[in-house]
Structure 1
């Protein structure tokens, strides 16, 4: 891996569900561009010395990546973070969850319309375990949100191509 000052580093989280981090290389002590790099992280503004691992990639400052494997044209990479908020309400053995895409594709002004709702109800003979109701209701809400996202993709494909689209999920 080689980098220069001004390049971006994108690093996947080391934990499941963790955020992808990106930052700008602000220092590169080796002339050949080898690690480590001094990186200013975009989420905190903090700087740290980074030895990138296999879960990291370098995006050159000019936006071009290395040629693809078959020697074709350089590829552009893109890194985007979408945020989903799940809200839960539990009352009298019934749980309702709402999953909303709160920060999604900037091309859509109607992002708030992308949501899913899920419900779970405890059987009267079951033990009181609210976390299970939360998991079931949230899982159902996220499944419905996923269906809404796939539906949005189908609509977008249809708009671009002029033909009805079906995305297999």
Structure 2
């Protein structure tokens, strides 16, 4: 995701909690949480904090049990392909862009042809979130079984830890 230069706009303005982590990085962290089953026990990262005081781009390495690693990037001033990869010992998967509302993925391995799986949307890709929220509300549920509150809170805590590592605080904190 790449924005133009607008220091008063929501993406670059610290008064509006701008920056890549809170705008698009949350998707990378939620994806990692889905793939690895929760928050990382250990992580390290680097970010470029631009002249407005928000993170314009960041790279994160998350370490999980069993030697599993998540390598994530996000940014609002950097052109990125918006794909996600998952690599295993036998196969890999590429989630097509934009990975947070993909319409397909490719499965591959060193010794087989790639397989493309199409996942077309009925609308814009966000309809599934909206439908699930409506189902929860109609069912009287205040928590989703797809994205439980504990998982959401763990992702927020991970983002807070990353911002602390970068020395990034917003004026309202």
TM normalised by structure 1 equals 0.24
Larger radius of gyration: 1
- Pick 1 or 2: higher relative contact order, CA cutoff 8 A, min separation 6: 2
TM normalised by structure 2 equals 0.24
Q: Which is strand-richer, 1 or 2?
A: 1
Q: Which is helix-richer, 1 or 2?
A: 2
